[in-house]
Structure 1
């Protein structure tokens, strides 16, 4: 059964792929694949911290929205056991190719991965639990995306998503961005981006209002602090920052000007990462996220 069939809405029209989804697949996915070791190895600290807190039970049906490389979906499949099911959905086919072929998936036959755009519907009242790790911040229409997640829940079902907190609490992204913007202009209003951005849900009051508008109840925020890996070494960290995140967006949008100034930007970023203590096979910096939990009305 395909994702399109399973999560069909009352409107059977097949909509064209959104520009944002095209941008993720064409531009961002190759960069994310190249730095999978940074993204998955670092971000997993947050999901590993929150996984024991999630209200998931044996036999539950679970949806993982923006599942990426599939590690969280497989972890939850182990939680729900053989009588439960987990569906991981992402808009990037390249991510899902990795998810489907992870070696540990052999021990989780109750998980499958499907392509889909969460903002265009995830089905109705099919799941006991809906989860997202660092995916909801990129919804072009946050209320629509969150409402789609709520609609996918059975009455009284639970959801949880992890989003980045304020910029000041996440120097691993912001310090590099600030350095790059000493040399290059900030992206303009017409820039092609990954969506609202990693800090679009950092403000508790704003995000709570979006979730209320999407129909959630029992909304709670819990701060999670963890180290994230920014690279195996200084060169890896510098190249990662120039590929993804706010620094990478600035560099990409600068075009030829960015290429012309790359050498001096690399020197400046290298000086930043020289002050980062190496441990556990890489460079790690401070980061902070929100674990946001809520319920669908009964």
Structure 2
């Protein structure tokens, strides 16, 4: 998948869907926003860069912890998501701003960043070595990287439930084994090699297992908007009867995850940490 494809995807239906699903996604991934925010000392004067910031939840959580002189910049390729992030920031008094740009190709000021974070935003680069090299150049000597990425699909049953259930009914696009895409960083050694080839040092890639959840009342909305199945269900060419059938089959397939008024699942991820030389 090329950069042009990524730009079209996230500035088209996929980006619009994430904006519509913002409350659901913030609820689902709140533990990871907290995980990344906790890596920033309270009252810190750091200049933080949030890569693939989406609608701004992580940037806002980090900005709330910063002290005098601190600032967080969120960057995302999706103009629609950046617009929502800016709207959310207007009601806050935090030191935060947002940029609509491709992190892989954006020209950052050198050595201007103290700390780079990302919540599931770094798996979509078509040239990850180029992207992480740029981020390393943007980071001051001794500055740090802390990013989260998904592990393998077979460790994340929740994330693949919809497409497995819908497969008999829809011709879903195949997932690429090594990206760009959700599971592009599943191979730990590949991630280690990417960071090393990008010039980072003191590299750590460690497993993080986190329980996440959404309201049961939001499950149908989640299924109908997100992932490969959500993408197809949003296609106006899909027959209404087939859409209803797929939606029912897929929602039913999530039954093992339903716990009363919450749908809970284990998220299997990597935490990427490194230091700029």
TM-score range, shorter chain: 0.7 to 0.9
Q: Distance in 2 between matches of 1:166 and 1:21?
A: 25
- The question of 1:261 aligning with 2:242 is answered yes
Separation in structure 1 between the aligned mates of residue 172 and residue 141 of structure 2, nearest angstrom: 44
Question: Which of 223, 226, 237 pairs up with 1:241?
Answer: 223
**1:138–1:197: 8 Å Cα contact kept in structure 2?**
yes
1:25-66 CA distance string (max 9 Å, x none)? 122111111111221111121231343245787211111111
**1:230/1:237 contact within 8 Å kept:** yes
The verdict on how the C-alpha distance between 1:106 and 1:240 changes in structure 2, with shifts beyond 3 A counting, is closer
Number of residue equivalences: 272
After TM superposition, give the deviation of residue 18 of structure 1 in Å: 3.3
Q: Could you tell me how far 1:170 is from its partner in structure 2?
A: 1.3
- CA positional deviation for 1:113: 1.2
**Contact map agreement 1:230 1:285 (CA 8 A) in 2:** no
Contact 1:157 1:295 (8 Å CA) reproduced: yes
**Which residue matches 1:43?**
29
Q: Secondary structure at the match of 1:229?
A: strand
User: How far apart, in 1, do the equivalents of 2:39 and 2:207 lie?
Assistant: 13
- The alpha carbon displacement at 1:185 in A equals 2.4
Q: Any gaps of 5 or more consecutive residues in structure 1?
A: 1-16
With over 3 angstroms needed to count, the CA separation of the structure-2 counterparts of 1:184 and 1:198, relative to structure 1, is: same
Question: In 1, Cα distance between the equivalents of 2:135 and 2:62?
Answer: 17
| Distance apart, 1:266 and its partner CA | 2.2
Are the equivalent residues in 1 in contact too, given 2:19–2:55 (CA < 8 A)?
no
Q: CA 1:54–1:256 in 2, change beyond 3 Å: closer, same or farther?
A: same
1:290 matches 2:270: yes
Cα root mean square deviation, aligned:
2.7
Write the distance in 2 (CA, Å) between the matches of 1:246 and 1:210. 27
Q: Give the 5 Å matches for 1:18-167.
A: 18-54=4-40, 58-102=44-88, 106-108=92-94, 110-123=95-108, 124-167=110-153
Cα distance, 1:145 vs structure 2:
1.5
Say whether the 8 Å CA contact 2:36–2:117 is kept in structure 1: no
What is the deviation of 1:104?
7.9
| Aligned equivalents of 2:114, 2:248: Cα separation in 1 | 50
Moved more, 70-79 or 256-265: 256-265
Contact 2:52–2:118 (8 Å) recurs in 1: yes
What TM-score, normalized to structure 2?
Answer: 0.87
d(CA) in 1 for partners of 2:112 and 2:215?
39
Using the alignment, how far apart are the partners of 2:121 and 2:5 within structure 1? 17
